[in-house]
Structure 1
Amino acid sequence: MQTVHHDTPILRAWRLFAGVLAVSAVLALPQVAQAGGDPFGVYANVGTAPGQLLAAPQKDVSPLATALPTAWKDEPLSLMQLSALALHDNPRTRVAWETLRGQAAALGVAESAAWPTLNLNVPLTRVRSVNSAGTAQPAENTLQPNLSLSWLLWDFGQSQAAVNAAQAQLNAARFTQNATVQSILADVRQAYYQLLGDRALIESYGQALHSAQAALDAAQARLRAGQATIADVYQAKASVAAARATLLAAQQTVASDEGALANAVGLPLGTSLKLAPLDLKVSPKLRDSVQQLMQQALDVNPGLQSTRADVTAARAELRAAQRSGLPTLTLGATQSWTLRQHWAPTRQYSIGLTVSVPLFSGFKRHYQTAQARSALAEAQANLATDAQSTRLAVWQDYYAFRSASAALPSARAQLDNAKQALAAVQAQYRVGLATMQNLLAAQAALTSARVAVTRDAINSYQSLSNLSAAIGTLTPPQGGLDGR
């Protein structure tokens, strides 16, 4: 008697799957053999022996910096414009933002624990058996779709603690982004004032060179008139050479400063930046006391706020670790179908509650709790350290500003006196009442006074910028730049 097997949809699906699998295996065998035990080619870029120079990976063609806007190329740029460019173009802002987005996604992962999970499994099997007499039985194909639902109903606050920890970490990431933004702005301010100061120094050194050349011309004129010696000329020439060398060195420093400012903004190095000169006659002021500024820093500094959020996250993680040994209540439900060749389809349903009670895990939960407790203590210690360092930074920057701003009026008075002294010595030298040494000394005193005014003014602005960064504000403290 001959048995006839009908070509059912299950059988056709099984044959198609088996055929695709067989063809894939046949096509893959030569590649596996050729790969020499490396079917995925992971060793392709690591060389064949030690000590080899490896080729660089393909370069990233994504732009690393943007150009200066066309509308801004022919006008002096303000600090506000440079800051806006930095926030848009500096890659550190993108890194901080993507980190923040990733932490927001982590919060979504933690909140997903409150929702049920639904899974569909579709196993397809083909069974063929042989009886004790050695006779093969007809093959049987079975399709068993299974739909299962699992819902965690109660876990004594474990999942909520995880959500709280993720929320605290998201807050920390938000404050970290703020700290990154403020750090970028502080870098721009520092580079901006440094460049302006060094450009002002070039002007001072240029005036010094002009004065040295005037002294040389006067010495040569008096030598021709028989009223000076050749020694005066040589001294004047040496002064001109020294002034020119100082000017050339300052010009190289300015070129370096321009690169630092372009890098802080996020522009390509070599970008030509036109800046309005800083008014050195205006002195920045500060009305708040150091105690007020330190308290303001403790309240608003984003780095300190991020560390506080780390403490909150560590505390929530400790609660989750402490509750990991408590029971959990889960709702489970399944519905499955069985489609077996030669048999009628069947369906199965189930629903129930599961109470899971952790009894022993090899002291794993004990050490997890101890680890979380130590992490909390570490976060609290980091908070105390950051608070102390923040107070110290505010204290030092406050008195650095006070020192520079207090020295500025004296430097300006010294500059006025040096100008008058040089004019008097020049007049005396022309009539033979002063020596070349007197003239060169007066010129050096005037150059030193000009440099002192410039440096004290720039130090005032830079220390004020450092103070605002230590406090954690985007703008300088109250009254900082109004000049009143």
Structure 2
Amino acid sequence: MRLRFMGCMVLGMISVLVAEEFDPLDTKSLLPKQQATFVTCTTTDLTKSLGLSDVVMAALCNNPQTKIAWQTSLYQAAQVGVSRSAYLPTLSATGSVLRSESSETKSGNQENIGVTLSYLLYDFGKRDATYDNARALLDVALFSENGTIQSVFLSAIQAYYTLFGSNASLEASREAERSALESLNAAKTRYNVGAATPADTLQAQTAYSQAMLNRIQAEGSVKSAQGELASVLGMMPDTTIGLQNPLLAIPSDTFEKNIRALMEEAQRLRPDLMAASAKIKAAEANVKAAKADHMPTFSLSATSGHTDTVFNTSQRTSSIGLYVSIPIFTGFNTKYKVQAAQQQLKINEAEYEKLTQDASLEVYKTYQTLVSETQATRTSSDLVASAQASYDLSLGRYKAGVGTILDLLTAQSALASAKQQHIQSLYNWYITKASLAKAMGSLDFSTIKGQP
């Protein structure tokens, strides 16, 4: 009897282990094939220079946000398995060993073993509604995962171009510092020969000190940008990352399209909108499940047991029956569950409407920013050329003794500003282009095609 009892317990533990290791209801098939980022991920080789595609891939592989999103999808797939299990019968085993001691009767052990089979036959749609709810929530998780991937994708692009923009700004500030030093030296030379006043030297010295300060601040911005990029890639902020220089060119206006068509496309592609739509379906299923709590349930149950008593007698019992459970009064629990589910449905519908408006506005604003950035890159390029010519002329005139220090410093400041604007507008264009793709829900590797 003890062996039989222990065997029952071991069988129960084995069933638990099997449930943990295997996927008997094949819930993993509900998931799309793991994104290539999760299949082809390898350790990022920091001894090599990374291109933009390498940076994005490293971010998708190592950023904790993508890992959380994937695990959330796996969790929701397991929840679908929980809802599917309601369609299957349940089998449970019970066992007990009792020791009886009495001065009047025979002492000894009593052993009980029983097996019970239960199966829910019909519950007026609650089981189906619970399953539909779980499936919809899985869709929410999958769409949200796609949204997370695009967000990390964009963050990697932003960090990549921001770092290069910071480096370019640093180089521009160094060049401005060299120009300021040249202006200072020119002012000192003219002062030494008596062709300039001390005020010229002081003004030039002030401009040079300001240029040095700008260069120091630019160096700090580069360090911050390096830390931001490393963090996006899931690394420590002080990690040194070698990068390939991006291939930049003055952008054309070939991207310009009908803005209304872009907004309509976003309604179809944006993962957050699809997730919000799936939430509505989940809420609708939850309302059906809550209403089904009013209805009776029909179940089949079968039990078989064996008992050995202290008097060395054995008894076998078995039963089978159809059970009906009818809720009569639940303390208004079901009523308020239905009300809560209905209100949640209205909330989800309102959130979908708000997201729809927000998505259209984001596409519209990002598109207009891209148009502006395109024009800015062209204009800033012309501005740099004219500012450079103005500075060269002012420097030559001042050295020749026919120009003023104020003209020279003004031209010098204009040139530094023009270069900064051109650099920022160029890198901002590439970031805004990726942001528009993200706003439309279509950001992928084709967006950065052609970059190293």
The two structures have a TM-score, normalised by structure 2, of 0.86
Is 2:111 the partner of 1:154?
A: no
- How far off its partner does 1:127 sit? 4.1
**TM-aligned CA deviation for residue 345 of structure 1:** 2.0
Rounded Cα–Cα distance in structure 2 between residues aligned with 1:327 and 1:420: 88
C-alpha separation in 2, matches of 1:433 and 1:481: 52
**1:146, CA displacement in angstroms?**
1.2
Answer yes or no: is the 8 Å Cα contact 2:52–2:246 preserved in 1: no
Choose 376-385 or 137-146, whichever is displaced more: 137-146
Q: Name which of 174, 178, 193 aligns with 2:142.
A: 174
User: Which residue does 2:8 correspond to in 1?
Assistant: none
- Describe the SS at the equivalent of 1:119: strand
Cα distance in 2, alignment partners of residues 146 and 227 from structure 1 = 112
Inter-partner Cα distance in structure 1 for 2:247 and 2:78: 48
CA deviations 1:107-159 (Å, max 9, x no partner) are: 11110001111111113334456xxxxx7222353222111110011111111
Q: Map residues 287-326 of structure 1 onto 2, 5 A cutoff.
A: 287-326=256-295
1:279 & 1:103 partners in 2: Cα distance? 42
Alpha-carbon distance in structure 2 between the residues aligned to 1:219 and 1:190: 42
- Identical columns (%): 31
1:120 alignment partner, one of 88, 93, 101: 93
CA deviation map 1:236-291 (0-9, x unaligned) = 22211111111111111111111111111111111122333445542264233221
**Residue pair 1:468, 1:477 contacting (<8 A) in 2 also:** no
Q: Distance in 1 between matches of 2:106 and 2:450?
A: 95
Counterpart for residue 164 of structure 1: 132
Amino acid at match of 2:316: R
Partner of 1:237: 205
C-alpha distance in 2 between matches for 1:262 and 1:67: 16
After TM superposition, the score normalised by the length of structure 1 is: 0.80
Distance 1:428 1:343, change over 3 A: closer
Aligned residues: 413
Indicate the residue corresponding to 2:29 in structure 1: none
Give me the whole-angstrom Cα distance separating, in 2, the residues matched to 1:106 and 1:462. Answer: 38
Alignment partner, residue 365 of structure 1: 334
Q: How far is the alpha carbon of 1:474 from its aligned partner?
A: 2.3
Please tell me whether residue 461 in structure 1 is matched to residue 435 in structure 2.
no
1:399 aligns with 2:368: yes
Q: Could you tell me which residue of structure 1 aligns to residue 47 of structure 2?
A: 73
Residue 188 of structure 1 is matched in structure 2 by: 156
Residue-by-residue CA offset, 1:388-427 (whole Å, 9 max, x unaligned)? 1111111111111111212222211111111111222222
How far apart, in 1, do the equivalents of 2:230 and 2:182 lie?
37
In the alignment, the residues of structure 2 paired with residue 229 and residue 409 of structure 1 have an alpha-carbon distance, to the nearest angstrom, of 40
Q: 1:279 & 1:241 partners in 2: Cα distance?
A: 34
Aligned residue type for 2:133: A
Aligned partners of 2:44 and 2:58 also within 8 Å? no
**Secondary structure, aligned partner of 1:148:** strand
Amino acid at match of 2:250: V
1:191 aligned partner, one-letter code: A
User: Contact 2:112–2:305 at 8 Å: present in 1 too?
Assistant: yes
For residue 228 of structure 1, give the secondary structure of its aligned residue in structure 2.
coil
Note the C-alpha offset of 1:326: 1.4
For residues 280 and 243 of structure 1, what CA distance do their matches in structure 2 show? 27
Counterparts of 1:461 and 1:78 in 2: how far apart (Å)?
15
Q: State the match for 2:224 in structure 1.
A: 256
Check if 1:100 corresponds to 2:73.
yes
CA distance in 2, matches of 1:276, 1:477: 19
Could you say which residue in structure 2 is the equivalent of 1:219? 187
CA distance in 1, matches of 2:123, 2:154: 47
Q: For 1:436, give the aligned amino acid.
A: I
For the aligned residue pairs, the C-alpha RMSD in angstroms reads: 2.3
Change (3 A) 1:346 1:137: closer
Is the CA contact (8 Å cut-off) linking 1:67 and 1:268 kept in structure 2? no
Quick check: which has more Rg, 1 or 2?
A: 1
Q: What's the CA shift string for 1:80-109, capped at 9, x where partnerless?
A: 111111111111222112211111111111
Once the 2 structures are TM-superposed, how far is the Cα of residue 316 of structure 1 from its aligned partner? 0.5
Q: Which amino acid aligns with 1:398?
A: Y
Instruction: Please say if residues 193 and 462 of structure 1, whose CA atoms lie closer than 8 Å, have aligned partners that are also in contact.
Output: yes
Once the 2 structures are TM-superposed, how far is the Cα of residue 306 of structure 1 from its aligned partner? 1.2
Aligned counterparts of 2:394 and 2:210: Cα–Cα separation in 1: 20
Counterpart Cα distance in 1 of 2:247 and 2:118: 70
On the 8 A contact 2:250/2:378 being kept in 1, the answer is: no
**Contact 1:467/1:476 (8 A) holds in 2:** no
Q: 2: CA distance between counterparts of 1:263 and 1:140?
A: 69
Structure with greater proportional helix content: 2
Aligned partner of residue 73 in structure 1, secondary structure: coil
Distance in 2 between the 1:346 and 1:482 partners? 81
Task: State the 1:466 CA deviation.
Answer: 2.1
